[in-house]
Amino acid sequence: MTSFLNIRYLINKIDNERNPEIFLNAGSLVGNRWLSDIGGPNYATYKAASDNTGVILIPRSAYDNRVMEQEQRELRIIAKKLQSTVPLIFQKWSKNRLERFCQHGKAQTVQSGGTSIYQEGDPNTSVYFILDGAVSLYTTIVLRSTTVIPTVDKHKTLKNVQDNVKRVTLRKLQTGHFFGENAVLAFEKSAKRKADYEEYRTHNARTTMDGTILFRVQGEEAILLLHSSGAARLLLKEALIFDRNKVAADFALKRKQKRFLKSSQIGRAHV
């Protein structure tokens, strides 16, 4: 038989029309910690709404300890994963340093490939490590094409100008790679090195594989740990730097070469 616990708020400022009695079924959580945004310790009464209702009382201190234990287990798992997946950066880090670093980050699983992680123009505040999966870094360029349209008057022509937006891949990254490296300069004190900091993202990033797992770190303490260990220097060596005009010119040249090759193959086929 399913058990229920009935809760009725006793605070007068709570509108009973908007906050009626709540019925919770088996497996639900209730208590001061769960409803801490509503009132103090004596703001509600609890009564069984069915026979044989069983309730497990967990003291707040015990609850907090269990939460902390769970967080520590998750930190250790992420720390080991980082060290084994990105040995170039973390292989020589001590256990304590690595766990401190992980406290300032968050692991996230991106379920669908093609999901945007950040876009050009977003604040440049985080460094990402790929624990599993794949990511593409890309930029967009505009190619202008002009089509000449003849008219009845041979001395006059019409021009149709079109701007085509193209996505150009800059890097394809897999498990063990990292990106967003320039963010390690966010808290740089040296004016010379600070000049290299890009306040906003210069490119786009998106996942290219379902279930990609990323570890994102940000904040001054995490960045300082990267600097003090020498890891920031290694990250910056791999920083993505590109000239958009050159990327556009190279893309246009490759497209022309492909068209020429295709027309040559068609010509040979008709010979």
The average pLDDT across 83-88 equals: 94
Taking CA atoms, 210 is separated from 43, 85, 115, in Å, by 46, 18, 9
Q: Is the predicted pLDDT of residue 6 greater than 70, yes or no? A: no
Distance CA 258, CA 264 (A): 10
Percent of the residues in the chain that have a pLDDT greater than 90, as a whole number? 47
Biggest CA–CA distance in the chain, Å, is: 96
The average pLDDT across 177-189 equals: 91
The C-alpha angle with vertex 133 and arms to 127 and 139, in degrees rounded to 5, equals 60
pTM over 0.75: no
pLDDT at 64: 77
Distance CA 125, CA 180 (A): 8
Q: Where are the alpha helices (DSSP H) in the chain?
A: 60-85, 87-90, 95-102, 191-194, 220-228, 231-237, 244-270
Per-residue pLDDT tens over the stretch 127-142: 999 999 999 999 998 8
Q: Is the predicted pLDDT of residue 248 greater than 70, yes or no? A: yes
Distance CA 215, CA 109 (A): 9
